[in-house]
Chains A and B, each alone.
Chain A
Amino acid sequence: MSTEVPLLQVEDLTKLFPIRRGLFQRVIGHVRAIDGVGFDIRRGEIFGLAGESGSGKSTLARIVVGLDGASSGRIRFVGEDVHTLRGTRGFRRRVQMVFQNPGSSLNPRRSIEQTLSVPLRFHGIAPSAIAPRVRELLEMVELPASFRAKYPFELSGGQKQRVAIARALAVEPELLVLDEPTSALDVSVQAKVIELLMRIRNELDLSYLFISHDLSLMRNFTTRIAVMYLGKLCEMGFTGDVFDHPAHPYTQGLISSVPVVSEEEAALKPAVERIRGEIPSPANVPPGCSFHTRCPAAFRPCRIDDPAFVQVGFEHRTRCHLFPRDSTA
């Protein structure tokens, strides 16, 4: 690995949401939506964040782009603390986000041209340069120039998501946070959007933080992957390593529960016991290892101690009592 400063560094990030109750909305406790999460995204990388609903992955995305603040911990962007950068236009320009549902993330009363020119105007692009840039953006996402005058209701889901991607690209960001960008789309449309994202990344030298619950998609699209459970990372490593040798029982169970379309893929699934039940509420996280209530491999220490995030291979870490200390490859 190169020694250059990572594009994004997330250090020991925690996010608490207050639980309020009663007439005076007294704070009676906290939901730990994110609990001590740390990872880096290197330049040019597609970093995948996987997890079930309620794992905290979307909250993390919102903090990374500065839509929400963290309770503690730090995020650095090219070495600089984002908390101090957060309000600045410079930072907002360099980190952009594409949301899950293009149906609700586009303003229905704005034409596509208006939608795409808002960020350009906000970031001080000369008015005369806006129209050519809009045309260029549409071309980049493979939409005809005639779409300028259209409104979101005239577009299909895939086309809307292309507009959302164009809007994120308008200000020439370096990091794109993609929060389930294709989960609302059909597979044939998803394939085209993913292809587009791959091409754009190569052309514009972008990095992605890609959030999804679709592990098959992750396997094909990401460089490295982190698996999140109840606000904590339970495994992280290069995508190939994590899929070929998943260490954490949660990762193993997750991979083995993906419905697949061929024998070849079915053979790759770890032969493990199924994960039972559902993810507990983040307001009521089990003590010890938070996964022990569903874990087929749980033993005594799991109920008491939270395991450390240890090295189990080259840049491959996991948080599980089955791996008591660093066993470096």
Chain B
Amino acid sequence: MTVSGPNKGGPVLRVDDLRVAFSTFDGVADVLSGVDLEVHPGQRVGLVGESGCGKSVTMRAIMGILASPPARVRGRITFAGEELLTMGRAQRQALKGTAMSMVFQDPMTALNPVFRIGEQLTDVVRWADRRRGLRRTASERRARILEVLGQVRLPDPERIFDAYPVQLSGGMRQRVLIAMALLNRPRFLIADEPGTALDVTTQDEILRLLNELVRDEGLALLMITHNLGVVREMTDYVYVMYAGNVVEHGTTDAIFAAPAHPYTRALFACVPKLSGGRAYAGIEGTLPDYTRPPEGCRFHPRCPHAEARCFERPPSFDLGEQHHSACWLHAPTEAKS
């Protein structure tokens, strides 16, 4: 169990001991083995890890878009005080795209090429209105869409409304996807690698925009990414995932000042620095097979500090008030402050 994050009247989102398993031909893949995380109002939280670490599965479980079966989801996901995993289907559906919303990763595939932007956005609004029992006229909906298109700084919203996705550049389509997520005034936004598919200069613009919107609207943001640089520039609090576990979490400042967990440290050492001075360590070995994960700490087969006790799963140890590491190295045994 971990308790973390600043406490401003309770978290918007709280994930407790989330476990997700998939049935595969090779047996049961035990993908998430007890993920805990919290997102507070107005907080920007990063979930960082490499491909296959379980960050997308975590995100899908939160959004309720994991096909089940084959997925088996256990644990608790509490959103604004309500338990998502046990709530009724209709109630859950009504939350999607309204109070909790999502910005998808790939602006090239997330929009339907045969419908105009306006039609696709209208669908989102109309759908949400129906779930919430709101009655709005077509022109009211259109006005809301044009307002949001302006908010994401798309020039000439009227023209964008009537455009097809092919007529827009990648950066503009990413803006449309952000607009889509904001249409129904969410409180909580999940962003899955926003801008990754774009060039650095465009990605930079998109991240700045997202940052401003989150701040202006007072949204809580959960950002999923593999890019540590993006995490540093976009978040207040970070969870580092490895093989279905959160291995380290803390404020972005604390973690970037002194990454503690051996995996986090190894990951930082792999990032090429703009300051040069090549020091490529890389990480030996590969991600474990989820149908037969290593016992105890899942990083121990690749860890230079592994020892006997690593066959037992380490709890999350406190390194500071807002910095925690799930590694036996940080167990408060001997004389340690």
Interface residues of A (CB under 8 A from B): 52-53, 156, 186-192, 194-195, 213-217, 219-221, 240, 243, 253-255, 257-262, 264-265, 268-269, 274-279
CB pair A220–B229 under 8 Å, yes or no, is no
CB pair B266–A219 under 8 Å, yes or no, is no
Rounded to whole angstroms, the CA-CA distance of A52 and B269 in the bound complex is 26
Among the 9-residue stretches B15-23, B91-99, B181-189, B201-209, the one with 4 or more Cβ atoms under 8 Å from chain A is B201-209
Cβ–Cβ < 8 Å partners of B268 in chain A: 261
CB pair A260–B270 under 8 Å, yes or no, is no
Cβ–Cβ < 8 Å partners of A186 in chain B: 50-51, 226
Interface residues of B (CB under 8 A from A): 50-51, 169-172, 199-205, 207-208, 226-230, 232-233, 256, 266-278, 280-283, 286
CB pair B229–A259 under 8 Å, yes or no, is yes
Rounded to whole angstroms, the CA-CA distance of A189 and B226 in the bound complex is 13
| A260-B229, A260-B274, A265-B273 known; A215 vs B200 contact (CB < 8 Å) | yes
Cβ–Cβ < 8 Å partners of A192 in chain B: 280, 282-283
| A259-B227, A261-B271 known; A188 vs B283 contact (CB < 8 Å) | yes
- Partner of B278 from the list A188, A221, A268 (CB cut-off 8 Å) is A221
Cβ–Cβ < 8 Å partners of A278 in chain B: 169-172, 199, 201-202
CB pair A260–B232 under 8 Å, yes or no, is yes
Q: How far is the CB of A217 from the nearest CB of chain B, in Å?
A: 5
| A188-B266, A278-B171 known; A215 vs B274 contact (CB < 8 Å) | yes
Among residues of A, the one whose C-beta sits closest to the C-beta of B171 is A278
Q: How far is the CB of B164 from the nearest CB of chain A, in Å?
A: 16
CB pair B51–A214 under 8 Å, yes or no, is no
Q: How far is the CB of B116 from the nearest CB of chain A, in Å?
A: 21
Task: Give 7 A-B pairs besides A186-B226, A253-B201, A262-B273 with Cβ atoms closer than 8 angstroms.
Answer: A219-B274, A220-B273, A259-B229, A260-B229, A261-B268, A268-B274, A277-B171
Q: How far is the CB of A210 from the nearest CB of chain B, in Å?
A: 13
CB pair B273–A274 under 8 Å, yes or no, is no
Cβ–Cβ < 8 Å partners of B267 in chain A: 187-188
- Partner of A156 from the list B170, B256, B286 (CB cut-off 8 Å) is B286
Rounded to whole angstroms, the CA-CA distance of A254 and B269 in the bound complex is 23
Cβ–Cβ < 8 Å partners of B280 in chain A: 191-192, 194-195, 220
Cβ–Cβ < 8 Å partners of B269 in chain A: 191
| A52-B201, A219-B274 known; A261 vs B51 contact (CB < 8 Å) | no
Cβ–Cβ < 8 Å partners of A279 in chain B: 199
Q: How far is the CB of A297 from the nearest CB of chain B, in Å?
A: 15
Rounded to whole angstroms, the CA-CA distance of A244 and B275 in the bound complex is 9
Cβ–Cβ < 8 Å partners of B204 in chain A: 257, 259, 274
Q: How far is the CB of A241 from the nearest CB of chain B, in Å?
A: 12
Q: How far is the CB of A147 from the nearest CB of chain B, in Å?
A: 14
- Partner of B50 from the list A53, A188, A194, A259 (CB cut-off 8 Å) is A188
CB pair A258–B171 under 8 Å, yes or no, is no
Rounded to whole angstroms, the CA-CA distance of A264 and B276 in the bound complex is 11
CB pair A188–B200 under 8 Å, yes or no, is no
Q: How far is the CB of A86 from the nearest CB of chain B, in Å?
A: 32
Cβ–Cβ < 8 Å partners of B266 in chain A: 188
Rounded to whole angstroms, the CA-CA distance of A262 and B231 in the bound complex is 11
CB pair B199–A261 under 8 Å, yes or no, is no
Rounded to whole angstroms, the CA-CA distance of A208 and B309 in the bound complex is 46
Q: How far is the CB of B101 from the nearest CB of chain A, in Å?
A: 24
* Central interface residue in A186, A243, A259, A268, by most chain B CB within 10 Å: A259
Cβ–Cβ < 8 Å partners of B232 in chain A: 259-262
CB pair B227–A214 under 8 Å, yes or no, is no
Cβ–Cβ < 8 Å partners of B271 in chain A: 187, 216, 261
9 sample A-B contacts, Cβ–Cβ < 8 Å, listed by A number? A188-B50, A188-B282, A192-B283, A213-B200, A214-B272, A215-B274, A216-B272, A254-B201, A257-B204
Q: How far is the CB of A23 from the nearest CB of chain B, in Å?
A: 22
Rounded to whole angstroms, the CA-CA distance of A257 and B229 in the bound complex is 11
CB pair B273–A261 under 8 Å, yes or no, is yes
Cβ–Cβ < 8 Å partners of A261 in chain B: 228-229, 232, 256, 268, 271, 273
CB pair B282–A268 under 8 Å, yes or no, is no
Cβ–Cβ < 8 Å partners of A274 in chain B: 201, 204-205, 208
Among residues of B, the one whose C-beta sits closest to the C-beta of A192 is B282
Cβ–Cβ < 8 Å partners of A255 in chain B: 274
Cβ–Cβ < 8 Å partners of A240 in chain B: 276
CB pair A220–B283 under 8 Å, yes or no, is no
Q: How far is the CB of B80 from the nearest CB of chain A, in Å?
A: 31
Rounded to whole angstroms, the CA-CA distance of A53 and B170 in the bound complex is 11
Among residues of A, the one whose C-beta sits closest to the C-beta of B279 is A220
Rounded to whole angstroms, the CA-CA distance of A259 and B223 in the bound complex is 15
Rounded to whole angstroms, the CA-CA distance of A12 and B205 in the bound complex is 34
CB pair A265–B275 under 8 Å, yes or no, is yes
Q: How far is the CB of A271 from the nearest CB of chain B, in Å?
A: 14
Q: How far is the CB of A243 from the nearest CB of chain B, in Å?
A: 7
CB pair A216–B200 under 8 Å, yes or no, is no
- Partner of A195 from the list B169, B172, B207, B282 (CB cut-off 8 Å) is B282
Cβ–Cβ < 8 Å partners of B50 in chain A: 186-188
| A219-B274, A240-B276, A261-B273 known; A189 vs B199 contact (CB < 8 Å) | no
| A186-B50, A274-B204 known; A216 vs B273 contact (CB < 8 Å) | yes
Q: How far is the CB of A165 from the nearest CB of chain B, in Å?
A: 15
CB pair A191–B275 under 8 Å, yes or no, is no
Rounded to whole angstroms, the CA-CA distance of A243 and B276 in the bound complex is 9
Cβ–Cβ < 8 Å partners of B200 in chain A: 52, 213, 215, 254, 257-258
Among residues of B, the one whose C-beta sits closest to the C-beta of A263 is B256
- Partner of B199 from the list A195, A213, A259, A268 (CB cut-off 8 Å) is A213
- Partner of A259 from the list B51, B202, B233, B256 (CB cut-off 8 Å) is B233
- Partner of B272 from the list A217, A253, A254, A275 (CB cut-off 8 Å) is A217
Q: How far is the CB of A295 from the nearest CB of chain B, in Å?
A: 12
Rounded to whole angstroms, the CA-CA distance of A189 and B285 in the bound complex is 9
Cβ–Cβ < 8 Å partners of B172 in chain A: 278
| A187-B271, A261-B229 known; A220 vs B201 contact (CB < 8 Å) | no
Rounded to whole angstroms, the CA-CA distance of A243 and B232 in the bound complex is 21
Among residues of A, the one whose C-beta sits closest to the C-beta of B274 is A265
